[in-house]
Amino acid sequence: MRELVLATIADQPDIEVVGELQDDNKIVEATGQLLPDCLIIALEESGARPKLCDEVLERWPNTKILALAAKENNSIFYWATLVVRSNRVETSEEGILSALRGEFHSENRLDLNSSHKIN
């Protein structure tokens, strides 16, 4: 599978291989050093997200991960997204303290992409 992927990538002028590892235990360290746009990793169990994905995406959320399971002819693409939410806060001591403690009321939640409330 490795050779097939490398051959496929080699023909693409907009994709560059910046590293290749034999030892999966070094992927996190190498990702921090190389900061690739995308990682290609082996997928051992097709139904379970590799723990490596969570660690990499937590540290470098802009990285994308393509996990390939050669034996099962299966691949999964992983990426992280950021969800931004907002709440109107009463400008008072109580309102400010409630906000800092994470005590929000759902009827005040706002969608940042529009001007109307979400319930």
Question: Is the pLDDT reported for residue 79 higher than 90?
Answer: yes
Share of the chain above pLDDT 90, in %: 40
The b-or-e profile of 16-41 (16+ CB within 10 A means b, else e) is eeeeeeeeeeebeebbeeeebeebbb
Which residue has better confidence, 32 or 83?
A: 32
- pLDDT surpassing 90 at residue 34: yes
Q: How far is CA 22 from the centre of its chain?
A: 23
Same domain for 14 and 64?
yes
Q: Are residues 22 and 68 in the same domain?
A: yes
Extract the tokens encoding 98.
Answer: 């409630």
pLDDT at 101 over 60: yes
Q: Identify the pLDDT of residue 119.
A: 39
Based on the structure, what is the number of domains in the chain? 2
Note the maximum CA span of the chain. 63
3-state secondary structure at position 59: helix
Answer yes or no: do 100 and 115 share one domain. Answer: yes
Q: Is the distance from CB of 31 to CB of 49 less than 8 angstroms?
A: no
Report the range out of 23-27, 30-34, 48-52, 90-94 with the highest average pLDDT: 30-34
Closest CA to 28 of 1, 57, 5, 69: 57
Q: Which domain holds residue 113?
A: 83-119
Tell me the one-letter amino acid at 34: L
pLDDT tens digits, 88-97: 888 888 888 8
Q: Which pLDDT value is given to residue 46? A: 61
- Check whether residue 62 and residue 7 sit in a common domain: yes
Averaged pLDDT for residues 74-95: 85
Helix H or strand E encompassing 7: helix 2-10
| Structure tokens, 43 | 């997928």
pTM of the model: 0.69
pLDDT exceeds cutoff 90 at 37 = yes
